[in-house]
Chains A and B, each alone.
Chain A
């Protein structure tokens, strides 16, 4: 019997029950590695497996749950030594009456960006297990007890890239319906089905009574067979037991046939008795057939966005026509992009477009870094915006969830390069209605291309719901007949093909006055033609207002809840102001407070205004040198003297930053003036993730006018060297907070010296002392953020 035959036969499939708790009952000590039992107590394993087969188990999980290299490290055994005998024992016990699964559990360390384990390292650890399991003759792979969707993805990818065995993936949830890492069943279902799992489900954490809502969510978002392996009830914190008897377990589990569950088994605390009673309870029950159709949706690891109404894609993370974004990309200023991401989600974007295409940077590398960083701070799903497969693939690999790929077009070569990636990583894809001959004028020609893209996508196994069509906005000032054609194509794709549609809206008004008016009206027209996914700037309230109004008027925003929440307490003015009139009136003379005082008091908003006023009469650099810097110096001196404290220091820096931003905006018109001093490379060293101190240092340095290249946390020595060389930084700042990571700091300095990077090094961090700093070859030790500024002044000026 093969897995697929078993799956196609009607009726429930019986799995096994707990292994770890059974081994403990046999005498395995607390803290001993259960995976070694195959070598040390093969008789125990045989007994347990045989008891499950007797109870009716049709798929046995081999005792390989923690047999990854990381977890086995403390036993001095390798996966190759542990996995083959474990599989062999399961096969012996099965004796042809049950299939044998290679059981894969979590590695035990959290993956980036939550933890430190790099994604590819996780994939490789899992591949090692899969290779050993395949060689030993496993019939399938069961990935279990995963709390991090990213880790489930890594394991699934490892299986898919190593063998053709069927693979089941089950995750472990808490009572509120999410995993420890916040993953919900919808996001797990969409992501794992997209990446080719054969069955998905739930195991561990909860008891059978808590299963129904999780099962219902999974069946709503996936068409795959569902597997359920709960614990024997809920555990207590001392780890001594679970609260449900075998009979109760069997009865609750049998109810799940009504919800369409295919695989039934048990996890911690369940025994062969539980499985035997479960077999009895399931006997004669048929699994209810529930028709399932999964709507179009995208997700991150923790949030699903169904495309069941207009969903806004934020366009701001894109250098095209954005000077500040270009600068940020050139200077590796990932924080700038994080700011853009958060600002847009705050304004109401549901999905964020990420485009980092700039000729002078390594687009693939930057794409990966930005995707990781953005996923670390927001749960919005992302649209990966590039047409280069070599950029898209690494980004799709590390993106956690179901992304949108933007884009392919009707050109066969492009589709052949990108659609297989879309399929492999389970993404959705935007198809542009253009091809190697350019953008067709006629609506029919655009429809033909949309057809072609859909056909190709389907032929690669991509779901119809996952193909979104972009009918392309043409600038109306250049081709006035274009807008109507776009709208007509949009209407036909929506109604004739029934596909979801995407449109970049802002281009429509290029070269026209009063662009917001044109954009807003075009957006409204497009939505009435069936636009689902406008790519817009959500920070422009007129655009969000159009979307909210549309939802209100089309009865999608039930009881006008969202509309009232957004506009219940605002007054809308529709008057249009002549462009020549200044945006804000000059402050009344004598009414502004002194900028220096405002910085010292840490008043952000007021400091920005005061800087604007001051620039009416004084030169920008004069304001910086004679107002801002002296004020910061005063605060710094007060800090050193213990008259003000860290919070006030940060507040003052924030106020100075607001003033600097105003000044920078003024300077950006003057070439050669905008570059800051430095640059200074900052990093929290490899292995360390405590970065709040480094971030405070960064804020302060920036407000003294230094350009900071912030490499983030857990930064390998090579990356520090590379950045220092690339940006020709005269000063490198390293931070470490743990005694266990001071070694990395020493390694980083050693490598800088070995590579003869002409920079000074300043170090800081709680466990560091001036002596140790000197010992590891640092040029300076900074006790706090203020001292870092003093060092920068000494080195750079």
Chain B
């Protein structure tokens, strides 16, 4: 599937920028709208995926290739799933340098682009999730889960990218400190269950960032209900 990102959710971008959508004046909306258009032009979304069988073990979940995804939260999350699709997605380095360039000229423009790119990555992941669900007809899926959620460590990034051959296939790497580069990128695990599972939704309360969340601090939310 070729990814194609279309119009971004302006309210979401405004929220990421730290402004409740109903408080944004026309000037700010225009700025955010322009940033969305620029990101849509600059971004070169690419993705890769691979399916593994999964088994629960005391320390976490083991993929059929042998890699252990440590921690209890993902294990709970994948309860009832026999398989999992591992995927990664990136907007490419051009997006990074475009944002960096804007930041050194106009900080607000830089912020708007940064947030528009975040919204774009989310949209890309949604598309991938839909595509992957289509690959497993008749199956059931919990929401996608990424390193950094719950107790699933970020140190896994390098191994996950290796499994996907991501540097070669989509140009996505992780630094020595496990930061994904290009920056506007995601790795995620989508559980695949053969039987219906307890419906889990991404919720504000179960979010790993709940405690320090800047949206919550300002009385709003990031868009997840």
Task: Please tell me if the beta carbons of A204 and B179 are within 8 angstroms of each other in the complex.
Answer: no
Within 8 A of B (CB), among A5-40: 29-31
Task: Please tell me if the beta carbons of B173 and A108 are within 8 angstroms of each other in the complex.
Answer: yes
User: Does chain B have a CB within 8 A of A722?
Assistant: no
Chain A, Cβ-Cβ closest to B103: A695
How far is A462 from B64 in the complex, measured between Cα atoms in Å?
Answer: 56
User: Does chain A have a CB within 8 A of B65?
Assistant: yes
Within 8 A of B (CB), among A647-690: 647-648, 650-651, 653-654, 686-690
Within 8 A of B (CB), among A163-197: 172, 179-182
* Stretch of B73-81, B195-203, B209-217 contacting A (4+ beta carbons < 8 Å): B209-217
Instruction: Count A-side interface residues using an 8 Å CB cutoff.
Output: 61
Chain A positions within 8 Å of B173 at CB level: 108-110, 115
Interface centre among A179, A204, A238, A690 (most CB of B within 10 A): A238
How far is A59 from B108 in the complex, measured between Cα atoms in Å?
Answer: 55
Task: Please tell me if the beta carbons of B170 and A180 are within 8 angstroms of each other in the complex.
Answer: yes
Task: Please tell me if the beta carbons of A182 and B111 are within 8 angstroms of each other in the complex.
Answer: no
The interface residues of chain B, by DSSP majority, are classed as: mixed
Task: Please tell me if the beta carbons of B176 and A645 are within 8 angstroms of each other in the complex.
Answer: no
Chain A, Cβ-Cβ closest to B48: A237
Task: Please tell me if the beta carbons of A377 and B100 are within 8 angstroms of each other in the complex.
Answer: yes
How far is A338 from B148 in the complex, measured between Cα atoms in Å?
Answer: 34
Q: Which of B17, B148, B176, B211 contacts A647 (CB 8 A)?
A: B17
Chain B positions within 8 Å of A654 at CB level: 106-108
How far is A690 from B177 in the complex, measured between Cα atoms in Å?
Answer: 12
Known contacts A31-B65, A182-B93, A696-B111: does B219 contact A642 (CB below 8 Å)?
A: yes
Interface centre among A179, A339, A687 (most CB of B within 10 A): A687
Task: Please tell me if the beta carbons of A642 and B218 are within 8 angstroms of each other in the complex.
Answer: yes
Interface centre among B24, B28, B104, B105 (most CB of A within 10 A): B104
Chain A, Cβ-Cβ closest to B23: A645
How far is A29 from B169 in the complex, measured between Cα atoms in Å?
Answer: 18
A280 to chain B, nearest CB (A): 29
How far is A616 from B96 in the complex, measured between Cα atoms in Å?
Answer: 44
Task: Please tell me if the beta carbons of B181 and A181 are within 8 angstroms of each other in the complex.
Answer: no
Within 8 A of A (CB), among B96-139: 96-97, 100-101, 103-108, 110-112, 114
* Stretch of B4-12, B54-62, B157-165, B186-194 contacting A (4+ beta carbons < 8 Å): B157-165
How far is A783 from B18 in the complex, measured between Cα atoms in Å?
Answer: 13
Chain B, Cβ-Cβ closest to A738: B179
Chain A positions within 8 Å of B112 at CB level: 647
A386 to chain B, nearest CB (A): 24
Chain A positions within 8 Å of B36 at CB level: none
Chain A positions within 8 Å of B145 at CB level: none
How far is A647 from B110 in the complex, measured between Cα atoms in Å?
Answer: 11
Chain B positions within 8 Å of A145 at CB level: 168
User: Does chain B have a CB within 8 A of A117?
Assistant: yes
* Stretch of A503-511, A574-582, A762-770 contacting B (4+ beta carbons < 8 Å): A762-770
Known contacts A110-B175, A110-B181, A235-B169: does B155 contact A766 (CB below 8 Å)?
A: no
Task: Please tell me if the beta carbons of B96 and A114 are within 8 angstroms of each other in the complex.
Answer: yes
User: Does chain A have a CB within 8 A of B141?
Assistant: no
How far is A368 from B118 in the complex, measured between Cα atoms in Å?
Answer: 32
Chain B positions within 8 Å of A70 at CB level: 176
User: Does chain A have a CB within 8 A of B67?
Assistant: yes
Known contacts A338-B104, A695-B107: does B175 contact A647 (CB below 8 Å)?
A: no
Chain B, Cβ-Cβ closest to A238: B49
Task: Please tell me if the beta carbons of B165 and A115 are within 8 angstroms of each other in the complex.
Answer: no
Task: Please tell me if the beta carbons of A647 and B28 are within 8 angstroms of each other in the complex.
Answer: yes
Known contacts A237-B1, A239-B169: does B97 contact A646 (CB below 8 Å)?
A: no
Q: Which of A74, A204, A376, A687 contacts B168 (CB 8 A)?
A: A204
Chain A, Cβ-Cβ closest to B25: A648
Chain A, Cβ-Cβ closest to B17: A647
How far is A81 from B105 in the complex, measured between Cα atoms in Å?
Answer: 49
Task: Please tell me if the beta carbons of A109 and B175 are within 8 angstroms of each other in the complex.
Answer: yes
How far is A106 from B181 in the complex, measured between Cα atoms in Å?
Answer: 15
How far is A321 from B57 in the complex, measured between Cα atoms in Å?
Answer: 69
Chain B positions within 8 Å of A651 at CB level: 108
Chain A positions within 8 Å of B207 at CB level: none
Chain A positions within 8 Å of B20 at CB level: 645
User: Does chain A have a CB within 8 A of B167?
Assistant: yes
Task: Please tell me if the beta carbons of A687 and B1 are within 8 angstroms of each other in the complex.
Answer: no
The interface residues of chain A, by DSSP majority, are classed as: loop
Instruction: Count B-side interface residues using an 8 Å CB cutoff.
Output: 65
Q: Which of B66, B164, B170, B171 contacts A29 (CB 8 A)?
A: B66
Chain A, Cβ-Cβ closest to B135: A238
User: Does chain B have a CB within 8 A of A739?
Assistant: yes
Task: Please tell me if the beta carbons of A741 and B19 are within 8 angstroms of each other in the complex.
Answer: no
Task: Please tell me if the beta carbons of B65 and A29 are within 8 angstroms of each other in the complex.
Answer: yes
Chain A positions within 8 Å of B50 at CB level: 30, 238-239
Task: Please tell me if the beta carbons of B1 and A31 are within 8 angstroms of each other in the complex.
Answer: no
Task: Please tell me if the beta carbons of B168 and A339 are within 8 angstroms of each other in the complex.
Answer: no
Task: Please tell me if the beta carbons of A239 and B93 are within 8 angstroms of each other in the complex.
Answer: no
Q: Which of A115, A646, A740, A769 contacts B181 (CB 8 A)?
A: A115
How far is A31 from B63 in the complex, measured between Cα atoms in Å?
Answer: 11
User: Does chain B have a CB within 8 A of A335?
Assistant: yes
A75 to chain B, nearest CB (A): 11
Chain B, Cβ-Cβ closest to A121: B176
Task: Please tell me if the beta carbons of A646 and B19 are within 8 angstroms of each other in the complex.
Answer: yes
User: Does chain A have a CB within 8 A of B142?
Assistant: no
How far is A239 from B47 in the complex, measured between Cα atoms in Å?
Answer: 11
How far is A653 from B110 in the complex, measured between Cα atoms in Å?
Answer: 14
Known contacts A116-B176, A377-B104: does B67 contact A31 (CB below 8 Å)?
A: yes
Interface centre among B176, B178, B217 (most CB of A within 10 A): B176
How far is A196 from B38 in the complex, measured between Cα atoms in Å?
Answer: 39
Within 8 A of B (CB), among A332-386: 335, 338-339, 342, 376-378
Chain B positions within 8 Å of A109 at CB level: 173-176, 181
Chain B positions within 8 Å of A512 at CB level: none
Chain B, Cβ-Cβ closest to A784: B214
Interface centre among B51, B167, B218 (most CB of A within 10 A): B167
Chain A, Cβ-Cβ closest to B3: A237
A367 to chain B, nearest CB (A): 19
Chain A positions within 8 Å of B28 at CB level: 647-648
A401 to chain B, nearest CB (A): 15
A611 to chain B, nearest CB (A): 19
Within 8 A of A (CB), among B26-60: 28, 31, 47-51
Task: Please tell me if the beta carbons of A180 and B163 are within 8 angstroms of each other in the complex.
Answer: no
Task: Please tell me if the beta carbons of B111 and A650 are within 8 angstroms of each other in the complex.
Answer: yes
Chain B positions within 8 Å of A342 at CB level: 101, 104-105
How far is A179 from B28 in the complex, measured between Cα atoms in Å?
Answer: 35
Task: Please tell me if the beta carbons of A30 and B163 are within 8 angstroms of each other in the complex.
Answer: yes
B79 to chain A, nearest CB (A): 24
Task: Please tell me if the beta carbons of B169 and A766 are within 8 angstroms of each other in the complex.
Answer: no
Task: Please tell me if the beta carbons of B179 and A740 are within 8 angstroms of each other in the complex.
Answer: yes
User: Does chain B have a CB within 8 A of A523?
Assistant: no
A314 to chain B, nearest CB (A): 16
Chain A, Cβ-Cβ closest to B52: A30
B175 to chain A, nearest CB (A): 4
Q: Pull 5 A–B residue pairs with CB atoms less than 8 Å apart, ordered by A.
A: A238-B49, A342-B101, A653-B107, A687-B176, A741-B177
Interface residues of B (CB under 8 A from A): 1, 17-20, 23-24, 28, 31, 47-51, 65-67, 92-94, 96-97, 100-101, 103-108, 110-112, 114, 148, 154-155, 158-159, 162-165, 167-171, 173-179, 181-183, 209, 211-212, 214, 217-219
A-B complex: 3 closest residue pairs judged by Cβ atoms: A180-B171, A687-B177, A646-B18
Interface residues of A (CB under 8 A from B): 29-31, 70, 74, 106, 108-110, 114-117, 145, 147, 172, 179-182, 204, 235, 237-239, 335, 338-339, 342, 376-378, 642, 645-648, 650-651, 653-654, 686-690, 692, 695-696, 699, 738-741, 744, 766-769, 783-784
